[in-house]
Amino acid sequence: MRALLVDRSAPAGLRLGNAPDPTPEPHQALVRVAATSFNYGEVGHLLQEADEGTVLGWDAAGVVERAAADGSGPAAGTPVVTLAPDGAWAELRAVDTDLIGTVPGGADLGAISTVPVAGASALRALHRLGPLLGRRVLITGATGGVGRYAVQLARQGGAYVVATTGDPGARGDALRALGAHEVVGTPAAVTEPVHGVLDMVGGKQLVEAYEMLAGGGTLVAVGHAAGEPEHFPHGTLYGDDGRHDRSIASFHLLGCTALAPDLTWLAGRIAAGELDPGISWRGSWQQAAEAADALLGRRLHGKAVLDLD
Ligand SMILES: NC(=O)c1ccc[n+]([C@@H]2O[C@H](COP(=O)([O-])OP(=O)(O)OC[C@H]3O[C@@H](n4cnc5c(N)ncnc54)[C@H](OP(=O)(O)O)[C@@H]3O)[C@@H](O)[C@H]2O)c1
Per-residue pLDDT of the chain (309 residues; tens, 9 = 90+): 999 999 999 999 999 999 999 999 999 999 999 999 999 999 988 999 999 999 999 999 999 999 999 999 999 999 999 999 999 999 999 999 999 999 999 999 999 999 999 999 999 999 999 999 999 999 999 999 999 999 999 999 999 999 999 999 999 999 999 999 999 999 999 999 999 999 999 999 999 999 999 999 999 999 999 999 999 999 999 888 888 999 999 999 999 999 999 999 999 999 999 999 999 999 999 999 999 999 988 899 999 999 999
Question: Angle between the 145-156 and 168-178 helix axes, to the nearest 10 degrees?
Answer: 40
Contact 218, 246 (CB under 8 A): yes
**Which contiguous run of DSSP H or E holds residue 249?**
strand 247-250
CATH numeric code, 121-253 = 3.40.50.720
The structural domains of the chain, with segments of one domain joined by +, span: 2-114+277-307, 121-253
pTM of the model: 0.97
Contact 202, 230 (CB under 8 A): yes
Rounded Cα–Cα distance for residues 168 and 189 (Å): 12
**Pocket around ligand 1: residues whose beta carbon is below 6 Å from it?**
39-41, 117-118, 121, 141, 143-147, 165-167, 171, 200-201, 222-226, 251-253, 295, 298, 301
Q: Whose CA is nearest to atom 2 of ligand 1?
A: 252
CATH 3.90.180.10 applies to domain 2-114+277-307: yes
> What is the SS3 assignment for 28-62?
EEEEEEEEEEECHHHHHHHHHHCCCCCCCCCEEEE
- 99 SS3 class: helix
Q: Which atom of ligand 1 is nearest to the CA of 41?
A: 47
